[in-house]
Structure 1
Amino acid sequence: MKDSVERPVVLCIGGHDPSGGAGILADAEAIQAAKAFAVTVVTALTDQDTCGLRRIFPQRPEQIADQCRHLIADSSPRAIKIGLIGNSNIIRILNEVIDKKPKLPVVLDPVLASGTGQTLVDAALLNQLRYHLIHRCRLITPNLPEARTLTDAHTPEDCAKRLQTYGAPWVLITGTHDDTQEVVNRLYGPDGFQQEWSWPRLPDTYHGSGCTLASAIAARLAWGMEMVEAVASGQFYTWQSLKHAFRSGRCQLTPNRFHDLHPSDTAQ
């Protein structure tokens, strides 16, 4: 049966993970699961698998800019999701792209380290993030170590306050890296808004959970959800994807972003 519903488009800008657990492929799956559609621009190729990242190969900034402009003109995305950037020169290009569509909600997942701990940024990229990109984004979704790296603060609240001074109206700090029985995610918004969600901590480690969450939220914003509703719904979807994760390699598990799709559904 033909799907007569027009699906909102999300422009995803980030790295390509050949293992499929994170990066652009994870973005596209999470967005597709929300019945939206992803168009993608690759900022960097990577040499990685479920066990870790070995090398990044940033793409040419001019090439990224051209691809973004063409996709925006063709597909009229309703949201932008940014993940791995690659180097500071690419941020300058992204700023130009965002400034031409200032009403589009931008969700930034500041990928500062791989899931197994490898550092992915230098001082120049950090400064570009702090002073040139963050204020252009509607929502930023760092885990607590990333928030600390961006701000030099320590507690989630202090990190969020600093990120808001950089210009981010909404900050979601995730507790996936805490040593606690539950994962506590904290959303900070305008006028002192704050809300927490607690999720049972799952026993394994996962490749691409941050990509999944940020893309799920971006898809919901593209559908027109308000921020708090989009963040709550995106978290529930992500937790379910991790709960149903599967082993596609030797190390970290891969989120099952189509966990509610049964094999029989694909034959229809």
Structure 2
Amino acid sequence: MQNTQSVKSTQTVDAQLITEQFNHLKEDVDFSVVKIGLLSSKSQIQTIASLLETCEALTIVLDPIISSSTNQQLLDEQALKSLKQELLPMVTVLTPNVAELNALSSTEDEQQAIESLPCEWVLLTTTDTSKNKIEHRLYHHAQCVERFTYTKLPGDYHGSGCTLSSTISALLASGVDVNIACKRALDYTYQSLLSAKSIGKMQYHPNRQAPK
């Protein structure tokens, strides 16, 4: 439960319901990309990892949400440990911000942190630590292969990370290469923030209908 100012409470989706929904969907739809966002418990993470192991040739995009954009902790230590041990090795594209990267790697040295991750691709977003200019960095097998620079926008935003990872996933499902998908998704997300909407007292929300 949340509004634009804070997260009031969370309720974990039952693991059995996740299993039933996944299997029901799998009976009906062929999919090649899975995007994972907010996770809330060790059992939930273990369930999702087990389900993904039943699929072949999946591209998995993970937005590793550990705390809310209003700084409420959303993932406890047990769940974080399970995420690192059981889910990260399956992930194709990881999209952490700096704080999330540090939490996933237990170090604040960027290169060491990237090298400690088992994911093939890591798109590190740096909005959370940048003041004026933002430089997002794309790593492939722990080597920085692309840098994307933007001017930091004023204000606080809710949903920019979800917009980014969802757009990357949609582009990958359309056959776009990872590096191009990341660039296009970053541009799309930035444009959605340029025309973001104020619907409450604090955070702005991306205008996903605005970008062309």
| TM-score normalised by L of structure 1 | 0.76
Give, in whole Å, the separation in 2 of the partners of 1:252 and 1:216.
21
2:207 partner SS: coil
Q: Is the 8 A contact 1:107 1:139 kept in 2?
A: yes
Match of 1:177 in 2: 128
Find 2:4's aligned residue among 50, 53, 70: 50
Cα deviation per residue 1:173-214 (whole Å; 9 max; x = unaligned)?
100101321111111112735321111100111001111100
Q: Is the 8 A contact 2:107 2:113 kept in 1?
A: yes
Q: Structure 2: state its 5+ residue gaps.
A: none
What does residue range 153-232 of structure 1 map to in structure 2 within 5 Å? 153-163=107-117, 167-190=118-141, 192-232=143-183
Letter in 2 for 1:254: H
What does residue range 25-36 of structure 1 map to in structure 2 within 5 Å? none
Give, in whole Å, the separation in 1 of the partners of 2:112 and 2:131.
19
Cα deviation per residue 1:142-192 (whole Å; 9 max; x = unaligned)?
1000110111111332221112xxx21111110010132111111111273
Give, in whole Å, the separation in 1 of the partners of 2:65 and 2:54.
24
Q: 1:191 to 1:200 in 2, by over 3 A?
A: closer
RMSD: 1.3
Find 1:248's aligned residue among 196, 199, 203: 199
Q: Say yes or no: does 1:237 pair with 2:188.
A: yes
Cα deviation per residue 1:69-103 (whole Å; 9 max; x = unaligned)?
11122121231100011101011111122111131
Find 1:74's aligned residue among 28, 37, 47: 28
Q: Say yes or no: does 1:107 pair with 2:61.
A: yes
Higher strand share: 1
Q: Structure 1: state its 5+ residue gaps.
A: 1-46, 262-268
2:21 partner SS: helix
Give, in whole Å, the separation in 2 of the partners of 1:156 and 1:198.
18
Letter in 1 for 2:121: W
Q: Which runs of 4+ in 1 moved over 6 A?
A: none
Letter in 1 for 2:156: T
Match of 1:36 in 2: none
Q: Is the 8 A contact 1:156 1:173 kept in 2?
A: no
Match of 2:210 in 1: 259
Q: Say yes or no: does 1:98 pair with 2:55.
A: no
Deviation of residue 68 (structure 1)? 1.0
| TM-score normalised by L of structure 2 | 0.96
Letter in 1 for 2:7: L
1:59 partner SS: coil
Letter in 1 for 2:137: R
Q: Is the 8 A contact 2:115 2:142 kept in 1?
A: no
Match of 2:82 in 1: 128
Give, in whole Å, the separation in 1 of the partners of 2:178 and 2:211.
24
Letter in 1 for 2:3: D
Q: Is the 8 A contact 1:144 1:177 kept in 2?
A: yes
Q: Is the 8 A contact 1:160 1:173 kept in 2?
A: no
Give, in whole Å, the separation in 1 of the partners of 2:45 and 2:142.
28
Moved more, 174-183 or 222-231: 174-183
Letter in 2 for 1:84: L
Give, in whole Å, the separation in 2 of the partners of 1:115 and 1:141.
15
Q: Is the 8 A contact 1:245 1:254 kept in 2?
A: yes
Q: 1:208 to 1:72 in 2, by over 3 A?
A: same
